[in-house]
């Protein structure tokens, strides 16, 4: 039976599982600067439709960015972040339109497929020199926006981009944090326009937020010169 204390139709076991997932994802987000949405989507899409997870993840990413602002934004490459955000705002409605047009099962499979491909590219340390140009940066932002509209994992596309720039770990992390924050401001307009951001999803996000932020805080504590190479 659904949990009466949770605004979405989940059982108590699923709610407990979701709390554990968001904590672990917050931990990774605090350390690496991205992957919160990717981890939650990959682990929870089997029992929650992506269309319900996307607005929840908006709140989690926004809150995480605010918590990491002091230590992240100062190190960011603001020019690159600005171009990425501009592209992101172009791509978001395209991806979101695809998500609302597809059945939940199909959108879930597409989201998981995207995460798998992007994770594999990062693990293989694929370097795409064409992304180093201003035009390449904008294209990366558009692709990130489309992927965000489908699975809210645009941060993985941007992570692949910044890994191609040979910047320091601190600069890469800062650029990701700044991109995710500013990009989220614009994506809220699309979530409202498409009717994806609902009161129930906002309430679910608030329920999960304390656990997520605890993970983010612990992750930021782990990000120090000793662990930067990882």
Residue pLDDT, tens place only, 191-230: 898 888 888 889 999 999 999 999 999 988 887 667 666 6
Where is mean pLDDT largest: 62-76, 130-144, 181-195?
181-195
Q: Which distant-in-sequence residues (6+ apart) come within 8 Å of 10 by Cβ?
A: 2, 3, 18, 47, 48
Write down the residue that tokens 């594999």 correspond to.
120
Render pLDDT for 23-41 as a digit per residue (tens, 0 to 9): 999 998 888 777 788 889 8
> Would you place residue 6 in the very low, low, confident or very high pLDDT band (cuts 50, 70, 90)?
confident
Residues 100, 45: Cα–Cα separation, whole Å: 15
| Tens-place pLDDT, residues 131-177 | 767 888 888 889 888 888 887 777 778 777 777 776 777 777 777 77
Residue 2 pLDDT > 60, yes or no? Answer: yes
Q: What is the pTM of this model?
A: 0.79
Torsion, CA 193, CA 178, CA 162, CA 51, rounded to 10: -30
- Distance, CA of 75 to CA of 132 (rounded, Å): 19
What pLDDT is stored for residue 116 in this prediction?
81
Question: Are 202 and 55 a contacting pair, CB within 8 Å?
Answer: yes
User: In terms of pLDDT, which residue wins out, 229 or 90?
Assistant: 90
- Average pLDDT over every residue of 58-81: 78
Most confident of 64-68, 79-83, 106-110: 79-83
Q: Hunting for tokens 């798998």 — which residue is that?
A: 116
For residues 178-187, give the mean pLDDT.
82
Q: Tokens standing for 51?
A: 């269309």
How far apart are alpha carbons 156 and 223 in whole angstroms?
19
| Lookup: tokens for 224 | 């120090």
Residue 71 pLDDT > 60, yes or no? no
Read off the pLDDT of each residue in 90-113 and give the average, rounded to a whole number: 82
How many helices and strands (H and E) does the chain possess? 10, 0
Asked if pLDDT for residue 105 goes beyond 90, the answer is no
pLDDT given at position 196: 87
């Amino acid at each position: 039976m659904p949990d009466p204390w949770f605004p979405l139709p989940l059982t108590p076991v699923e709610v407990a599982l979701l709390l554990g997932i968001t904590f672990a994802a917050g931990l990774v987000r605090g350390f690496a600067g991205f992957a919160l949405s990717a981890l939650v989507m990959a682990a929870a899409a089997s029992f929650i439709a992506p269309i319900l997870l996307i607005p929840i993840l908006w709140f989690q990413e926004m809150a995480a960015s605010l918590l990491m602002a002091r230590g992240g934004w100062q190190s960011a490459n603001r020019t690159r972040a600005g171009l990425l955000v501009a592209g992101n705002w172009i791509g978001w409605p395209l991806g979101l339109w695809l998500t609302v047009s597809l059945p939940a099962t199909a959108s879930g499979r597409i989201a998981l497929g995207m995460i798998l491909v992007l994770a594999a590219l990062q693990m293989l340390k694929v370097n795409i020199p064409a992304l180093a140009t201003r035009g390449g940066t904008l294209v990366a932002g558009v692709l990130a926006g489309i992927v965000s509209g489908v699975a809210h994992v645009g941060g993985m596309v941007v992570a692949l981009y910044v890994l191609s720039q040979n910047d320091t770990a601190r600069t890469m992390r800062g650029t990701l944090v700044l991109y995710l924050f500013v990009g989220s401001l614009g994506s809220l307009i699309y979530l409202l326009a498409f009717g994806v951001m609902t009161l129930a999803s906002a309430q679910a996000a608030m329920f999960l937020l304390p656990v997520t932020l605890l993970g983010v805080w612990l992750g930021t504590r782990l990000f120090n010169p000793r662990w930067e190479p990882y």
